Amino acid sequence: MSRLIFFFFAILGLFFTAKAQETIKVGEFASLTGGNASFGQASHKGTLLAIEEINAAGGVLGKKFELITEDDQSQAGQPATIVQKLIAQDKVVAILGEVASSKSLEAAPICQQNKIPMISPASTNPKVTEIGDYIFRVCFIDPFQGTVMAKFALSKGWKRVALLTDVKQDYSVGLAEFFVKYFTSHGGEIVKEQKFSSGDKDFKPQLTSLKAAQPDAIFIPGYYGEAALIGKQARLLGIKATLMGGDGWIGDSLLKVAGKSLDGSYVSTHFFDQDPSPVVQTFVKKYRARYPGETPDDMAALGYDSAMILAAAMQRAGTTESAALRDAIAATKNHAGITGSITLDEKRNASKSAIILTIENGAFKFEQSVAP
Amino acid sequence: MVEFLQQLLNGISQGGIYALIALGYTMVYGILRFINFAHGDVFMLGSFAGFYLGPLVLRLCGGTPSFAVAGLTLMFAMVGCALVGMLIERLCYKPLRHQPRINVLITAIGVSLLLENGGQFLFGADPKSFPDLITDRALELPAALGPLSALTITLSQVIVLVVTGLLLIVLHVIVRHTRTGLAMRALSLNPVAAQLSGVDLNRIIGITFGLGSALAGAAGILISIQQPSIDPLMGINAGLKAFIAAVLGGIGNLPGAVLGGIVIGLLEAMIVGYGSPTYRDPIVFAVLIGILLFRPAGLLGKTILEKV
C-alpha cells in the first residue's frame, strides 16, 4: 500500500514539474501604488501588453510566458526584498523593472549576484547598468539627451546658445554637460551660462542676464515645475530666443502653468503617442484596445519594449539558461521597438533615437525623431 | 547699463515682497519681543486664499482677469490672513504670554510646522498653478527714454511696487497718526507704563498680528501674480529671507524692515545676475551673521543699553 502511495506521489510530482516547465517565469517589480504609481502603472500595463502578445503568438521556445508582478509600493527598501523573493521562491529567469533609478539601483546588485538578467525600462541614471554585466536598460541615458538637443540646435542653425541649468539635479547638470561638449566641438558657441536651484520661483535675474547675451536659443534641462515659470517669465522679459528642454519638461502642470508662453519651444523625449510612425500608431491602437480610454505614455512604451527585447533575446538564445540569455540580450541589435530602433552597447545601455516635440498653441506636437 | 537697471528693477520688485513680510516680523517683535516664526506660513496661506478665492472672484466679475479681480482677491486674502494671524495669537501665543519668552518662540516653530504640514495635507504637496487674476504683460516704454526704453517692466512688477507703496503709506498713517498706532508705539516703548495709562494690551496685540498678517497675505497674492506656481512650503524660504531683512533693517523698526527687504531683494538679484545662484543663499545668510556680529541693532535700529 505504502508503495502505491509513493508511486502516486511520484507521478504527481512528475506531473507538476512537467506542468511547471510549460511556462517561462518572468519577474516584474514596479511601483504600482504610492508616489510613483503613475509611472509604475504605465510601465506595468505596457509590459503586460507585450507578454500577452507574445503568448497569443505561441510564446517563446514553445512555452508561454508567465509574468509574476510584485508591487514595491514606491518605497525604498522594498525592491530588494521583492526581487529576492522573485528569484529565490518564484525562480524567475529574468527580471523586468523599474522606472525609478533609485529602485533599480536597489534591485540590480541582487540580480547581478544571482546572475539573473535584469532589464530596466526607464531608469536613466548612468549608474544603474554599471552595477554589473547582467543589468540592461532599454531607455537612453541622461547624457544622450544633451547630445541630441545639441545636434538639433545645430541643425536649426542656432550657433549662439545660452544655458540655464538646475544645479541641484544631476539630471540637469548631466544634460547640460553633454550638450556643451557636442555643441562647442561642432561649431556652436555657449554665449552665457546661468544656474538655478530646484524650487526657485523667480528667474528674472538669470533671464535678464541671458537676454543681454542675445542667444539664438536657450537650453533649459530642468523639470516641468521650473521650466513653466521660466517660460512665462522669459516671454514677459521680451526674450525671443527659442527655449529647449529635455524629457524632464514633460509633466502635467507644465502647460497648465505656462499656458501659451512656451509655444515654439522644443523638448526631447522617449516616445510620443502622436508620432506618425506606423510602429507607434499600431502600438497606440493595441494599447487603447487593451486598456479602453487610456493613451500610452513613454513609460508604457518602454515597458513594452523591455519585455519584447527579453523575448527576442530568449528566442535567439534558444534557452533560458542565465549566461546564454545574458549574452543574447547583450547582443540585441537594431531591435525594432516602439521607442525606436534599439541597440544595446557594450555598457548595456540602449543606443536609440530620441523624439523631439515642439509646443504649439499650448499643446505638444511631434517634430522629428533624431538618430543617435 | 540696461542690463544693470533691469536687475535693479527685478531686485526691487522682489525686495518689495520681502519688505511686506518683514514688516509683520518687525511689528510683532516691536510689541512682544519675540519672533513669530509662523509668519512666513501665513504668507503661504495668503497665496492659497488667492488660489481658492481667485476663481470665484473671477466668475463674479465676469470671467475676465482685470484689476478689479486682482484687487478684490487681494482684499479677501488680506482679511483672511488677518483673521488667521489673530486666531493664531489668541490660541497659541496668548496663553503663554506670562511664560518665559523661549516657550512662545518654540510654540511659534510648532505653529509653523503645523501650517506647513497641514497645508501639505489639505492642499496637497504638489505645486499648484495660480489662476490668472490679471493678464501679465510687458509694458511699452516710450521711445523718448532713449536707450532706457529697452528696459522691460512688466505689469506685475508695477503692481507689486504700487501696492507695496500704498500699503506702506497706509501702515505709516495707522502707526503714526491714529490712537491705535500711538498705543502700539507706547506698548513697544514700555508695556507696563502703557497699560497703566489705559492701553488695552490684548486689543493692541490682536491688531498688530492682524495688520502684520494682512501684509503677509498681500505679499502672498503679489508674489503669486508674478510667479504663478504655489506650494505649501513656499513660506519657508520667503519667511527666512524676510526675517533676515527685518534683522538687517533693525528688528522692531518699521522703515528698517522696508529698507532691509529692498536690500535683500537687490542683493539676491545682483548675486544671481552677475554671480551664481549657488552663492545666493549663503551670501544672504552671511549678511545675517555679519549684521548680528557687527551691528546687532541693524541698519536703522538704535542701540539701547539694557540695565542689568
Q: What is the pLDDT of residues B269-289, one digit of tens each?
A: 999 888 888 888 899 999 999
Q: Which of A201, A237, A257 is best to mutate for the B interface (most B CBs within 10 A)? A: A201
Any A CB within 8 A of B228 CB = yes
Q: What is the pLDDT of residue A174?
A: 83
Which residue in B126, B228, B272 is closest to A205 by CB distance? B272
Q: What is the pLDDT of residue B28?
A: 92
Q: What is the pLDDT of residue A252?
A: 67
Q: Is A367 exposed, middle or buried (0-12, 13-18, 19+ CB in 10 A)?
A: middle
C-alpha closest to that of A193 among A215, A224, A171: A215
More confident residue, B296 or A95: A95
Do the Cβ atoms of B152 and A236 come within 8 Å? yes
User: How confident is the model over A130-160, as pLDDT tens digits?
Assistant: 999 999 999 988 888 888 899 999 999 999 9
Tally of CA atoms within 13 A in the half-sphere of A362 that contains its CB: 10
Give yes or no: residues A57 and A92 share one domain: yes
* Residue A367 within a domain: no
Question: What is the least distance, in Å, from the CA of B27 to any CA of chain A?
Answer: 27
C-alpha separations of B6 from A277, B10, B150, B225, B264 in Å: 47, 6, 9, 19, 16
Do the Cβ atoms of B276 and A208 come within 8 Å? no
* Residue A13 within a domain: no
Q: Which of B5, B13, B229 is best to mutate for the A interface (most A CBs within 10 A)? A: B229
Q: What is the pLDDT of residue A189?
A: 92
**Domain C-terminal end among A269, A291, A323:** A269
Question: What is the least distance, in Å, from the CA of B90 to any CA of chain A?
Answer: 33
Do the Cβ atoms of B14 and A202 come within 8 Å? yes
Residues of A with CB under 8 A from a CB of B: 167, 194-197, 199-202, 204-206, 208-209, 211-212, 225, 228-229, 232-233, 236-238, 253, 256-257
Give yes or no: residues A201 and A262 share one domain: yes
Q: Encode chain A in three state secondary structure.
A: CHHHHHHHHHHHHHHHHHHHCCEEEEEEEECCCCCCHHHHHHHHHHHHHHHHHHHHCCCECCEEEEEEEEECCCCCCHHHHHHHHHHHCCCCCEEECCCCHHHHHHHHHHHHHHCCCEEECCCCCCHHHHCCCCEEECCCCHHHHHHHHHHHHHHCCCCEEEEEEECCCHHHHHHHHHHHHHHHHCCCEEEEEEEECCCCCCCHHHHHHHHHCCCCEEECCCCHHHHHHHHHHHHHCCCCCEEEECHHHCCHHHHHHHCCCCCCCEEEECCCCCCCCHHHHHHHHHHHHHCCCCCCCHHHHHHHHHHHHHHHHHHHHCCCCHHHHHHHHHCCCCEEECCEEEEECCCCCEECCEEEEEEECCEEEEEEEECC
CATH number at residue A206: 3.40.50.2300
* Residue A11 within a domain: no
pLDDT at A285 over 60: yes
Q: Which band of pLDDT confidence, cut at 50, 70 and 90, is reported for residue A17?
A: low
Mean pLDDT of B99-109: 92
Q: Which of A207, A236, A239, A252 is best to mutate for the B interface (most B CBs within 10 A)? A: A236
User: How confident is the model over A172-227, as pLDDT tens digits?
Assistant: 888 899 999 999 999 999 999 999 987 788 898 899 889 889 999 999 998 888 89
* Residue B210 within a domain: yes
A94, three cell numbers: 529574468
Do the Cβ atoms of A209 and B10 come within 8 Å? no
Global pTM exceeds 0.80:
no
Q: Which band of pLDDT confidence, cut at 50, 70 and 90, is reported for residue B260?
A: very high
Q: Which band of pLDDT confidence, cut at 50, 70 and 90, is reported for residue A11?
A: low
Q: What is the pLDDT of residue A48?
A: 95
pLDDT at A300 over 90: yes
* Residue B1 within a domain: no
Give yes or no: residues A134 and A150 share one domain: no
Q: Which band of pLDDT confidence, cut at 50, 70 and 90, is reported for residue B86?
A: very high
Do the Cβ atoms of B274 and A256 come within 8 Å? no
* Residue B63 within a domain: yes
- What is the Cα–Cα distance from B138 to B153, expressed in whole angstroms? 6
Among A306-310, B66-70, B304-308, name the one with the lowest average pLDDT. Answer: B304-308
Q: What is the pLDDT of residue B166?
A: 94
* Residue A258 within a domain: yes
User: How confident is the model over A60-99, as pLDDT tens digits?
Assistant: 999 999 999 999 888 888 999 999 999 999 999 999 989 8
Q: Which band of pLDDT confidence, cut at 50, 70 and 90, is reported for residue B306?
A: low
Give yes or no: residues A84 and A124 share one domain: yes
More confident residue, B121 or B126: B121
Any A CB within 8 A of B138 CB = yes
Domain assignment of residue A216, given as a range: 143-269
More confident residue, A190 or A236: A190
Q: What is the pLDDT of residue A25?
A: 94
Domain assignment of residue B178, given as a range: 19-235
pLDDT at B16 over 70: yes
Element (H, E) at B21: helix B2-32
* Residue A207 within a domain: yes
* Residue B23 within a domain: yes
Q: What is the pLDDT of residue A150?
A: 93
User: How confident is the model over A311-354, as pLDDT tens digits?
Assistant: 999 999 999 999 999 999 999 999 999 998 999 999 999 988 88
Which residues does A145 contact at the CB level (< 8 Å), separation at least 6?
A175, A178, A221, A246, A247, A268, A354
Do the Cβ atoms of B228 and A229 come within 8 Å? yes
Give yes or no: residues A97 and A36 share one domain: yes
- Number of structural domains in chain A: 2
Any A CB within 8 A of B229 CB = yes
- Average pLDDT of chain B is 90
* Residue B8 within a domain: no
Task: Confirm if B63 and B135 have CB atoms less than 8 A apart.
Answer: no
Chain A residues whose CB is inside 8 A of the B277 CB are: 167, 194-197, 200, 206
Q: What is the pLDDT of residue B54?
A: 92
C-alpha closest to that of A297 among A288, A289, A308, A306: A288
Q: Which band of pLDDT confidence, cut at 50, 70 and 90, is reported for residue A16?
A: low
* Residue A245 within a domain: yes
- What is the Cα–Cα distance from B232 to B239, expressed in whole angstroms? 13
Any A CB within 8 A of B236 CB = no
Do the Cβ atoms of B129 and A205 come within 8 Å? no
Do the Cβ atoms of B227 and A201 come within 8 Å? yes
| Number of inter-chain CB pairs under 8 A, A vs B | 79
* Residue A58 within a domain: yes
Q: What is the pLDDT of residue B307?
A: 56
User: How confident is the model over B146-190, as pLDDT tens digits?
Assistant: 777 778 888 888 999 999 999 999 999 999 999 999 999 999 888
* Residue B256 within a domain: no
Which residue in A194, A197, A257 is closest to B229 by CB distance? A257
* Residue B91 within a domain: yes
Question: What is the least distance, in Å, from the CA of A191 to any CA of chain B?
Answer: 14
- Number of structural domains in chain B: 1
**Domain C-terminal end among A212, A246, A269:** A269
Q: What is the pLDDT of residue A10?
A: 59
Q: What is the pLDDT of residue B289?
A: 93
Do the Cβ atoms of B129 and A253 come within 8 Å? yes
- Average pLDDT of chain A is 88
Q: Which of B13, B14, B44, B272 is best to mutate for the A interface (most A CBs within 10 A)? A: B272
* Residue A44 within a domain: yes
